[in-house]
Structure 1
Amino acid sequence: MNRPFKAVAVGAIATLCLTACSDPGSGSPQSSGSESWPSATTNLHDVELTMWAAQSSASIPKQVVADFSKATGAKIKIVTLPDPYEQSVQTKVATGDVPDLAMWQPTTSMLTSLGAKEHLQVLDDAPWESKTDKNVLAAGSSLNGHRYAAFVSAPSVMGVWYNKEVFTKNGVQVPKNFDEMLTIAKKLKAAGQTPFYEMGGEWWASQWAVQVQLADTAKAGLWDKVNRNEDKFTGTEIQGAINTYDTMIKDGLFNSDIKTGTFNDQAKALLDGKAAMAIQVTSLLGNMAARTDTATLDKKIGFFPISKSGTVATSIPDQTNAVVAFKSNDAKKETAARQFITYWLSDGYASFIKRQNTVSIINGVRTPDSVPKALIDSNATLKDSVGSMQSLAIANPDLAKNLGDMIAGTKTPAQVASETQSQFAQLAKAIGAKGF
């Protein structure tokens, strides 16, 4: 439950050209089947592997690595790459420097940007695949019919985290659509309560308020049209969502320090009841969990999904949720890397989720009693959720950064949409998408 992926788009176009313009689909996926998946604890005393992780994810596999080493004799070195992590990985991979394993965002855009078919091992028919929550698998990890990533935890869900005590005090109920939520927000504002907290000083979360509004049209194929250049960020739906977000800001529905507010400020404000709601992903609960105990979270914090005309949640896996295995031209190491993933999602999984205090995604492994109810509730919405821009679009432009500029007052809503579309088109063209 760490900070999610920050968009790194136009600055990575050169890297994308190296990894994707040369056809990220070049090369053949290795065969898959039972012969490709050794037992979780097969002896690996003479094997040494390297695993890349971000600053936000380096501690996640640490104990699993130690347990795996004890069980098999293998040695795995976790190397923390500098932020922006995704760009650091892409740059290294483009020059031929690859690890054996890496934490990675398992979305369409990020698997594409890494040149999955060329650089990553295929994880089809893995022994853990049939045991993994199907709603989780549906949120990502596959590209062009092959699985290239293994989820180790439930993907983040985009929605609204709210202070239950504030709602009760002001006599408001959980809304059934975005307009109802705005009505509630205006009622709260009139009562002297800050409706929403936005962390404009750290712009990476600014996109969530826009993306949740697109959930219904995303289910209807919005991103498919954008991918074919048949719809745009300047089109009615996306531009309209940006305009609504801008109006919310101008109407004073957010915190007065929106331009400087931080992720930590947001968590504290919601937990303390200074703000009633925050449109965020799962990492916000993790921040609040670091500040208090589960009993307090269960008493104060709730979650509800929201979309323009209903309650459709938006899923957005980040690089803390999944691991990939690289092709290394060393069959022994490649097999060992797959064995490590198998161990993580079998023998090592119960201990892993207990340490992480998170929801289990493996059938037969029970979610710890200490997991906050809001996290369980948010995870339950995956069943009817739709993928985010990062999950369904073929490229990931700087929507968040451009919206951050809008919050700062340096871009208009029209400029946000126009510049994001321009960036998307550049990225789409760089990976050889048709229609651009």
Structure 2
Amino acid sequence: MSVGALALAGCSGGGGGGGSTPSAFEFLKNAENTTTEPVLDALIDGACAEQNEALPLEVSSVPQAELDAQIQLLASQGGLPPMFSAGGNPAEGARLAEAGALVDFDEALTDLGMRDKIAPGAVSTIEKLYGGGFNFLPFQYNIEGIWYNTQIFEENGWEVPETWDDLVEIAGEAKAAGLTPFSASGEQGWPLTRLVSTYLFRSVGPDALQKVADGEAKLTDPEYVEAAAAIADLGAQGYFGDNVTSLDIDGSYNLFLTGQAPMIYMGSWILGNINGDGNEVGAENMSFFPFPAVEGGAGSIDQYPSNVGLPATFSADAYSDDVAGWLGCIAENYGNAALQEGQITGFVADEEADLPEISQKVADTIATSTDSVLWFEALFPAKASQISSTNAALLATGQLTPEEFMTLVQDAIDNP
């Protein structure tokens, strides 16, 4: 059942109250989310103790695979809890927002004087994912870029590349030195398609894939095929190594963390591995840089590919004064509380924390970033996403031409 077809009685689209006043601050989350609840528990014992006394936090969980259906059922019954995690399909979240079932955080946080507590880049990501509105909160926030071994770069006299041509030149010298220039999991596929999409965002512009989703452009257009060709060329030169097709995600991490590959394209979730015991290179010898510019392109290196990982939202129908109190307290304090636990979120963290240097760099980048882009499959239907990921390694190994790869994915978009 599509949320767009639901009759959501009593819902309001803004920050005002809706239906029955809740007796608890219930948070319905996906069971796989193990990071949000510990931070909320810390707030209960500290900054949000007053809010919890007025409206006690109650957390319930369902498996991620069942979350979309559960949210749709509750929405159809007018029974959405005060706070709940986003389902797996951003389009369903956008339909809920369009139906007026969600709190408008632009309005609600402005009323509470807390609008500036959410990082602009995180809001930009949410708006792009969920239909243009700010109806979800970034309890997790990841930016993506190229993580690199600073020791190898220094030993070879390589400067951080600012252009695609500079990056390719470094890759060539790395291969000549016996290294695998880029560690990437072809078994997963998406680490390769991320390169295609980020090239597109730099060449065609930040709206490149939105145009495809809107039917204004096709992946088979020459400028889109050019992006696939650029990544295929990396593979043709051997810059992904000999076993890219079979390399799983852990293997790709290991290649980078043992110093066999000087670069890996990945999101900031890799910080756990970089700062962990399995990093033989040492976190102090690693950093990251944004995907470089493509000469003559319409995009900017300041536009980081981003995702909000584990977002949550508030029910407009259950939005009461006590729920608003919780929203204000979360907005003001969640970023700092999460950072104390080593988590980087889309909430502003304005208190000092004892972080590894590389983690602090990411936190600072997030705090100052004002715009974002998505990723290759973000706006694709499920069928196209699957075809994209399962065929990416064939693009990188030359078993599919750039035109063939983009045609397969476009056909799946046109015929979901």
Q: Please state which band the TM-score falls in when normalised by the shorter chain.
A: 0.7 to 0.9
Which letter does structure 1 place at the counterpart of 2:308?
D
Asked whether 1:68 is paired with 2:52, we answer: no
1:51 is matched with 28
The match for 1:103 is: 85
| Match runs of 1:228-307 below 5 Å | 228-291=214-277, 296-307=282-293
Write the distance in 2 (CA, Å) between the matches of 1:275 and 1:186: 12
CA distance in 1, matches of 2:384, 2:363: 26
Instruction: Decide whether aligned partners of structure 1 residues 283 and 397 sit closer, same or farther in structure 2, where only a CA change above 3 A counts.
Output: farther
Query: For the residues of structure 2 that align with 1:163 and 1:239, how far apart are their CA atoms?
Result: 31
SS at match of 2:215: coil
Which whole-Å deviations, capped at 9, do the CAs of 1:374-433 have from their partners, x for residues lacking one? 552575276365412479858676347524324157755333312322333356xxxxxx
The number of residue pairs the alignment matches comes to 389
CA distance in 2, matches of 1:314, 1:196: 19
Match of 2:171 among 173, 185, 193: 185
Partner secondary structure for residue 61 of structure 2: strand
- Structure-2 separation of matches of 1:106 and 1:147: 18
2:353 to 368, 385, 409: 368
Matches within 5 A, 1:20-99: 20=4, 22=5, 30=12, 32=14, 46-47=23-24, 49-53=26-30, 55=32, 57-65=33-41, 67-68=43-44, 71=50, 72-73=52-53, 74-82=56-64, 85=65, 88-96=66-74, 98-99=80-81
Name 2:180's counterpart in structure 1: 194
Among residues 286, 292, 301, which one is paired with 1:311 in the alignment? 301
Give the drift of 1:263.
Answer: 2.2
Deviation per CA, 1:245-298, whole angstroms, max 9, x where unpaired? 1221222101322122222222222222111101122122233223369x9413
Native 8 Å contact 1:101 1:326 kept in 2: yes
What is the CA–CA distance in structure 1 between the aligned matches of 2:214 and 2:13, rounded to whole Å? Answer: 31
* Preserved contact between residue 133 and residue 361 of structure 1 (Cα < 8 Å): yes
Task: Write the distance in 2 (CA, Å) between the matches of 1:346 and 1:196.
Answer: 40
Residue identity in the other structure for 1:234:
T
* Higher mean displacement: 221-230 or 252-261: 221-230
Distance change in 2, residues 1:210/1:394 (3 Å): closer
Give the superposition deviation at 1:214. 1.4
Corresponding residue of 2:403:
414
Computed over aligned residues only, the root mean square deviation of the Cα atoms, in angstroms, reads 3.7
Of 75, 92, 98, 1:117 maps to 98
Listed one character per residue, the Cα deviations across residues 97-122 of structure 1 (whole Å, up to 9, x for unaligned) are: 6554333389975643x532224332
Q: Which residue of 2 aligns with 1:19?
A: 3
| Partner-residue secondary structure (3-state), 1:51 | strand
Q: CA deviation at 1:168?
A: 1.6
AA in 1 matched with 2:83? L
Indicate if the aligned counterparts of 2:268 and 2:362 stay in contact, CA closer than 8 A.
no
Secondary structure of 2:200 counterpart = helix
SS at match of 1:290: coil
Q: Residues 181 and 109 (structure 1 numbering): CA distance in 2 closer, same or farther, change over 3 Å?
A: farther
Query: Partner letter of residue 43 of structure 2?
Result: D
The code of the aligned residue for 1:279 comes to: Y
Query: CA separation of 1:390/1:124 partners in 2, compared to 1, >3 Å: closer, same or farther?
Result: farther
Are 2:373 and 1:387 aligned? yes
CA separation of 1:304/1:164 partners in 2, compared to 1, >3 Å: closer, same or farther?
farther
Within 2, Cα distance between the matches of 1:182 and 1:110?
A: 40
Which runs of no fewer than 5 residues in structure 1 stay unpaired? 1-14, 38-43, 428-436
Q: How does 1:113-152 map to 2 (within 5 A)?
A: 115-118=96-99, 119-125=101-107, 126=109, 127=112, 128-141=114-127, 146-152=133-139
SS at match of 2:270: helix
Structure 2 letter corresponding to 1:52: K
How far apart in 1 are the matches of 2:335 and 2:25? 22
Q: Which runs of 5+ in 2 are unaligned?
A: none
Letter of the structure 1 residue corresponding to residue 327 of structure 2: I
Do the aligned partners of 1:197 and 1:275 also contact (CA within 8 Å) in 2?
Answer: yes
Tell me what 1:158 maps to: 144
8 Å CA contact retained: 1:104, 1:323: yes
With the length of structure 2 as denominator, give the TM-score of the two structures.
0.78
1:149 Cα deviation after fit: 0.9
- TM-score, length-scaled by structure 1: 0.75
2:313 is the alignment partner of 1:324? yes
Answer whether contact 2:180 2:260 (CA < 8 A) is retained: yes
Change (3 A) 1:370 1:282: same
Distance in 2 separating the partners of 1:397 and 1:386? 25
2:34 aligned partner, one-letter code: A
Distance 1:54 1:203 in 2: 26
Residue 423 of structure 1 pairs with residue 407 of structure 2: no
Asked whether the equivalents of residues 108 and 391 of structure 1 are also in contact (C-alpha less than 8 Å), the reply is: no
Q: Tell whether the 8 Å contact from 2:17 to 2:318 is kept in structure 1 after alignment.
A: no
SS at match of 2:241: coil
**Aligned with 1:369: secondary structure?**
coil
Q: Residue 317 of structure 1: CA displacement?
A: 1.6
**Does the aligned pair in 1 maintain the 2:186–2:393 contact within 8 Å?**
yes
Q: Is the 2:84–2:312 contact (alpha carbons within 8 Å) kept by the matching residues of 1?
A: yes
Separation in 2, partners of 1:110, 1:205: 25
